[in-house]
């Protein structure tokens, strides 16, 4: 039997019963094409997001406040550890520009800003055993961006992991330098994290947007899955 491409550990739902996850797997992309179109999609989403937040405090918006509440409940100071969607929105509001990285990442950021949900981008070629959302273990290692020293996640921290290689710390706070999507990436996972009754509809819409947009621009074939406590794995 094939190993799961994406799996949510039961203890995550024990801690956060309202947690919901969508997964978009895209295989066979050409991440060197559609550069201008993807950058344009990101610029349009950034401009729309900035306009939508005129006169509004991001932390008071329900789609962002729910993450601040979740982080606070885990003991992570929300003003210090911003969820990826809050960090993205604040950058869009402050600077009016989100840097273009590569087409696949740009499209993920565009969908994230459009629907106000955190969306990761992980190269599946670097994760042959699939990715798991679970609680941190003693042997886990997180490798930050740049030349910063390796980190050990806090015990019980919600993490994205491939074996003991931690790809994202504090749930949707910070991604590591391992597993990054790059121009050579052909297969990738976009995980979209949400909460039942608050952002699950938006997460589904973001997933559907990616399923349509990414193959149209980069080629390949997209698969969408919804994961919860009763369906915690995606196996292709």
Q: Given this model, what pLDDT does residue 86 score? A: 97
Q: What is the mean pLDDT of the chain?
A: 96
pLDDT at 10: 97
Predicted TM-score (pTM) of this structure: 0.96
pLDDT of 1: 58
* Two tokens, residue 24: 């978009």
Averaged pLDDT, 33-44: 97
Query: Does pLDDT of 93 surpass 80?
Result: yes
Q: Residue 121: what pLDDT?
A: 98
Q: Per-domain residue ranges for the chain? A: 6-230
Could you say which architecture CATH assigns to the domain 6-230? 3-Layer(bba) Sandwich (3.50)
Provide mean pLDDT across the span 170-191.
97
Q: Above 90 in pLDDT, residue 2?
A: no
**Residue given tokens 């989100």 in the structure block:** 98
CA–CA gap between residue 123 and residue 2 (Å, rounded): 18
pLDDT of residue 236: 82
Q: How high is the pLDDT of residue 147?
A: 86
pLDDT at 131 over 80: yes
């Amino acid at each position: 039997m094939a190993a799961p491409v994406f799996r949510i550990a039961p203890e995550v739902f024990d801690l956060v019963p309202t947690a919901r996850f969508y997964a978009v797997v895209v295989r066979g992309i050409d991440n060197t094409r559609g550069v201008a179109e993807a950058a344009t999609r990101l610029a349009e989403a950034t401009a729309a997001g900035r306009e939508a937040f005129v006169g509004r405090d991001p932390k008071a918006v329900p789609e962002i406040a729910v993450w601040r509440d979740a982080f606070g409940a885990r003991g992570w100071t929300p003003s210090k550890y911003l969820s990826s969607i809050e960090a993205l929105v604040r950058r869009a509001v402050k600077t009016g520009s989100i840097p273009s990285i590569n087409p696949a990442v740009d499209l993920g950021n565009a969908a994230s800003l459009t629907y106000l949900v955190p969306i990761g981008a992980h190269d599946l070629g670097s994760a042959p055993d699939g990715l798991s959302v679970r609680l941190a273990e003693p042997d886990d290692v997180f490798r930050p961006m740049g030349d910063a020293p390796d980190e050990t996640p806090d015990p019980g921290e919600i993490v994205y992991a491939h074996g003991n290689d931690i790809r994202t710390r504090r749930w949707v706070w910070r991604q590591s330098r391992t597993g990054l999507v790059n121009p050579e990436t052909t297969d990738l996972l976009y995980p979209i994290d949400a909460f039942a009754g608050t952002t699950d509809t938006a997460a589904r819409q973001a997933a559907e947007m990616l399923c349509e947009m990414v193959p149209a621009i980069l080629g390949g074939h997209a698969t969408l899955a919804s994961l919860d406590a009763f369906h915690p794995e995606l196996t292709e």
